[in-house]
């Protein structure tokens, strides 16, 4: 999830000529007023709906086939999206939630705020081993530390090597950010019962902990740190969009935590059929051609043509935990992290 600023669409009103206006009134008297298209409200994260993100293009493509009005409501990050929905409960206006990940799935399911989808997910790549009746994936990638190869000639090749270095680091808050939560899982996967000591080491190198991904990545690009927590796919953005090849993802020999971003239908929606149509659209070839080069993640279906830059990304080894294990331990992990960083 690393799209790059919110965009607002304005629909200008034109003033019809008096004769046309009169004809319109007469037509309305005969046939009644035209019914407004249904509104599909999608809660997602800010960068998804940014000018550079996939949101605007997907909106245009979906509205062309749904005869509806797709409206996004943005929050800081995927964790924030779920937190908002949880607070609103049955009073939420959301029809779809988009942008939580496999690390939050079980916690989201336990809220009881989602309903089973009716999407045919057989086209999802076998590499994801996906079978879930509530959540539909739309992209995936791996958490990674990004660095500038013009400045760092010998990058860290493991989490411990990073902690043992004198490099400065920016990462995101695991309470509000899916990358931050990814780092929390990463640290616990590598260090287990000794994770508190590892957090203490990291705290000595931390420039700041931001609420969301965009703030952290912007600070890094402005020279605010040596490394920033982001995604293994982040370098592809710089190559394709900016022609810059110095930004790299450090490959850690112990492996990386995968992130699969998902969408789901909210239980209280009045537009369940339309919501399921949108989820099916997300895994269509049309949408999957857009998402990798705007959200800068990997497609969840096979045979999507990608820019050459994707061929040169690191190929991490998967490590981590099952969604159930994450749900059962997330609160204690956050408590342990907080106890260290607030010292």
Q: Are 59 and 41 in contact (CB under 8 A)?
A: no
Unique residue bearing structure tokens 């592809």: 236
Assigned domain for 21 exists: no
Residue 30: is its pLDDT beyond 80?
no
Residue 8: is its pLDDT beyond 70?
no
- Domain match, 186 and 107 both: no
pLDDT in tens, 273-306: 999 999 999 999 999 999 999 999 999 999 999 9
Assigned domain for 24 exists: no
Per the structure, the complete domain to which residue 264 belongs is given by: 34-140+259-311
Question: Average pLDDT, stretch 235-247?
Answer: 97
Q: What integer pLDDT is reported at residue 2 of this predicted model?
A: 58
Q: What integer pLDDT is reported at residue 278 of this predicted model?
A: 98
Unique residue bearing structure tokens 């960068």: 47
Residue 107: is its pLDDT beyond 70?
yes
pLDDT in tens, 41-61: 999 999 899 999 999 999 999
- Distance between CA atoms of 20 and 26, rounded to whole angstroms? 10
- Domain match, 88 and 231 both: no
- Domain match, 205 and 284 both: no
Residue 12: is its pLDDT beyond 80?
no
pLDDT, mean over the chain: 91
pLDDT band of residue 342 (cuts 50, 70, 90) is confident
The domain total for the chain is: 2
- Domain match, 329 and 307 both: no
Assigned domain for 14 exists: no
Report percent pLDDT > 70 for the chain. Answer: 90
- Domain match, 202 and 320 both: yes
Distance separating the N- and C-terminal Cα atoms of the chain: 31
Residue 72: is its pLDDT beyond 70?
yes
Assigned domain for 242 exists: yes
pLDDT band of residue 33 (cuts 50, 70, 90) is low
**Pick from 233, 229, 202: which is nearest to 217 by CA?**
229
pLDDT in tens, 198-229: 999 999 999 999 998 989 999 999 999 999 99
- Distance between CA atoms of 90 and 100, rounded to whole angstroms? 19
Q: What integer pLDDT is reported at residue 14 of this predicted model?
A: 37
* Residue 271's CATH number: 3.40.190.10
Residue 82's contacts (CB-CB under 8 Å, 6 or more residues apart) are 97, 100, 104, 107, 108, 111
**Pairwise pLDDT comparison (18 vs 237), residue with the higher score:** 237
- Domain match, 111 and 203 both: no
pLDDT in tens, 77-98: 888 999 999 999 999 999 999 9
Strand duo 39-45 + 96-101: pairing: parallel
- Domain match, 73 and 135 both: yes
- What does pTM read for this prediction? 0.86
- Domain match, 270 and 222 both: no
The count of residues in the chain is 343
Residue 34: is its pLDDT beyond 60?
yes
Measured over all CA atoms, what is the biggest interatomic distance in the chain, rounded to whole angstroms? 79
Residue 4: is its pLDDT beyond 70?
no
pLDDT in tens, 115-133: 999 999 999 999 999 999 9
Question: Average pLDDT, stretch 295-320?
Answer: 97
- Domain match, 135 and 70 both: yes
pLDDT band of residue 3 (cuts 50, 70, 90) is low
């Amino acid at each position: 999830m690393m799209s790059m600023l919110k965009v607002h669409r304005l629909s200008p009103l034109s003033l019809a000529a008096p004769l046309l206006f009169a004809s319109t009134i007469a037509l309305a008297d005969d046939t009644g007023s035209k019914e407004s298209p249904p509104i599909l409200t999608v809660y997602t994260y800010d960068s998804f709906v940014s000018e550079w993100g996939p949101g605007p293009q997907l909106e245009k493509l979906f509205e062309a086939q749904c005869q509806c009005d797709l409206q996004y409501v943005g929050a800081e990050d995927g964790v924030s999206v779920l937190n908002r929905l949880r607070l609103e409960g049955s009073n939420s206006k959301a029809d779809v939630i988009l942008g939580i990940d496999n690390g939050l799935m079980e916690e989201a399911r336990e809220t009881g705020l989602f309903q089973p989808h009716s999407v045919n997910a057989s086209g999802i790549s076998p590499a994801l081993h996906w079978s879930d009746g509530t959540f539909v994936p739309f992209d995936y990638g791996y958490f990674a530390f990004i660095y500038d190869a013009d400045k760092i000639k010998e990058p860290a090749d493991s989490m411990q090597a990073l902690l043992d270095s004198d490099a400065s680091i920016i990462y995101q808050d695991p309470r509000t950010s899916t990358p931050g939560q990814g780092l929390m899982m990463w640290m616990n996967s590598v260090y287990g019962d000794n994770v508190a000591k590892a957090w203490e080491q990291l705290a000595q190198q931390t420039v700041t902990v931001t609420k969301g991904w965009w703030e952290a990545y912007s600070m890094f690009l402005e020279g605010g740190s040596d490394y920033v927590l982001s995604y293994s796919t982040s370098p592809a953005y710089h190559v394709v969009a900016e022609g810059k090849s110095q930004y790299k993802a450090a490959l850690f020999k112990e492996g990386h935590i995968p992130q699969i971003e998902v969408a789901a239908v909210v239980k209280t929606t009045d537009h369940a059929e339309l919501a399921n149509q949108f989820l099916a659209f997300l895994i269509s070839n049309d949408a999957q051609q857009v998402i990798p080069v705007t959200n800068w993640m990997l497609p969840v279906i096979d045979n999507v043509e990608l820019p050459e830059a994707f061929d040169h990304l690191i190929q991490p080894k998967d490590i981590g935990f099952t969604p159930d294990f994450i749900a059962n331990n997330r609160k204690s992990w956050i408590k342990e992290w907080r106890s260290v960083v607030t010292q």
